[in-house]
Amino acid sequence: MAKEKIFVTRSSMPPYEEYIEAIKPLWETHWLTNMGKYHQELEKELAEYLMVPEVSLVVNGHMALELAIQSFEFTEGSEVITTPFTFISTTHAIARNKLKPVFCDVKEADGTIDENKIEALITPKTVAILPVHVYGNSCNVDEIKRIADKHGLRVIYDAAHAFGEQYKENGIGMCGDASTFSFHATKVFNTIEGGAVVCKDHVLYERMYNLKNFGIRGEEVVDYVGANAKMNEFCAIMGICNLKRISDAIASRKQIHEKYDEAIRTIPGIISLAANNVHRNYAYYPIRVTREYVCDRSELYDRFHEAGIFVRKYFYPLTKDCDCYKDEYREMKTPIAKKMSEEVLTLPIYEGMDEESVGRVIEVLQRR
């Protein structure tokens, strides 16, 4: 008999009755979107949870990035130093703002931007650094800040993987000029689709408020060429329900994470990439399949798929090598990122993943 399929993730959901009960008031008010009651409530609750002054909710993590970048009004064609070892959204958000991504290599230990290679890439056209806390591994934010301050650059973090993480007693969203989060169904915390820009001051909050609402400031005043990126009330309520259970969801992921950690310690050639944080959210379990392992990455990938376990190659290919960018960025060499993208696999991890499933994943890894 074919075994049940195991996917790399599964969305966390509140109990059905709880969500249904929570959306009932919408049938009285008929207020479904446009910064409604629940949108406002979730912004407040998230600001507290993420330990930041303000949160601006938007439709998804990608628009959070696009609008955060737009809010700084950089000159068209300016350069933004970033990494290719990320989800395609990061690079697209730069390109769609008509800015030029300049790709910096990453560090082998955790996949985050190599802060020692940033300065060599700075030119008179550089306006910002856009690093990614990839897999929830925090970047070297102190050194990045030092470099940015020295050269007068903005720093925008793609914190899509770092929900609820902390850095030196602060919310990780406090690093840089702005940070963005994704609340997509596949992330640790979800609002079905959703995202947020974390605002350290009210100026950015107001700018985001306008940008996500067509740039409209008053009934007859339109200040920006804005987008429509407002989160609707059904999504906000999903967020309110999921946020109530977030510590259980993370605790459940932690257990699975620890089982993988324990197993991997005894498997030569498999290296965990979920490494560098004290306060983790256990969003992903990325591994590197190195030469010391019994087979290469693509064979291990096939072994998993044959066993009905749908591991993913996050992140392969590098964003800069994707067809949509043709050969524009192939000249920018990032050898460590390239090697990592050829070795990486992310293992299934999600709230409520049962022991049998975890065991099946480990069994494939342990095969000779």
Ligand X SMILES: *Cc1c(COP(=O)(O)O)cnc(C)c1O
Decide if 164 contacts 46 (C-beta within 8 A).
Answer: no
Taking the complex as a whole, the smallest distance from the CB of residue 229 to ligand X amounts, in Å, to: 10
C-alpha pair distances (Å), 298 with each of 143, 222, 313, 334? 36, 52, 9, 21
User: What's the CA gap between 276 and 244, in Å, rounded?
Assistant: 27
- Which residue stretch of 103-111, 153-161, 223-231, 317-325 sits at the interface with ligand X (rule: CB under 6 A)? 153-161
**Among 280, 215, 221, 225, CA closest to 254:** 280
Taking the complex as a whole, the smallest distance from the CB of residue 158 to ligand X amounts, in Å, to: 5
Taking the complex as a whole, the smallest distance from the CB of residue 84 to ligand X amounts, in Å, to: 12
161, 207, 212, 360: residue in contact with ligand X (rule CB under 6 A): 161
74, 87, 163, 167: residue in contact with ligand X (rule CB under 6 A): 87
Binding of residue 61 to ligand X (CB under 6 A): yes
70, 89, 179, 232: residue in contact with ligand X (rule CB under 6 A): 89
User: What's the CA gap between 126 and 65, in Å, rounded?
Assistant: 18
Q: What is the DSSP letter of 105?
A: P
* Burial per residue of 267-298, b for 16 or more beta-carbon CB atoms within 10 angstroms, e otherwise: bebbbbbbebbeebbbbbbbbbbeeebbeebe
Nearer to ligand X, 157 or 293 (CB): 157
- Which residue stretch of 43-51, 60-68, 72-80, 167-175 sits at the interface with ligand X (rule: CB under 6 A)? 60-68
Decide if 55 contacts 171 (C-beta within 8 A).
Answer: no
Taking the complex as a whole, the smallest distance from the CB of residue 162 to ligand X amounts, in Å, to: 9
Binding of residue 158 to ligand X (CB under 6 A): yes
User: What's the CA gap between 18 and 168, in Å, rounded?
Assistant: 35
The angle formed by the CA atoms of residues 322, 148 and 194, to the nearest 5 degrees, is: 50
- Which residue stretch of 40-48, 58-66, 98-106, 237-245 sits at the interface with ligand X (rule: CB under 6 A)? 58-66
C-alpha pair distances (Å), 42 with each of 217, 245, 264, 341? 22, 14, 38, 36
Binding of residue 184 to ligand X (CB under 6 A): yes
Residue 57 has a CB neighbour count (10 Å cut-off) of 28
x/- track of binding to ligand X for residues 121-150 (CB under 6 A): -----------x------------------
C-alpha pair distances (Å), 91 with each of 132, 295, 321, 329? 11, 32, 11, 11
Binding of residue 60 to ligand X (CB under 6 A): yes
Nearest residue relative to ligand X (C-beta): 61
Binding of residue 62 to ligand X (CB under 6 A): yes
Taking the complex as a whole, the smallest distance from the CB of residue 233 to ligand X amounts, in Å, to: 18
Binding of residue 90 to ligand X (CB under 6 A): yes
User: What's the CA gap between 291 and 270, in Å, rounded?
Assistant: 9
x/- track of binding to ligand X for residues 9-48 (CB under 6 A): ----------------------------------------
User: What's the CA gap between 159 and 139, in Å, rounded?
Assistant: 10
Binding of residue 86 to ligand X (CB under 6 A): yes
Nearer to ligand X, 163 or 293 (CB): 163
Residues that bind ligand X (CB under 6 A): 60-62, 86-87, 89-90, 132, 158, 160-161, 182, 184, 195
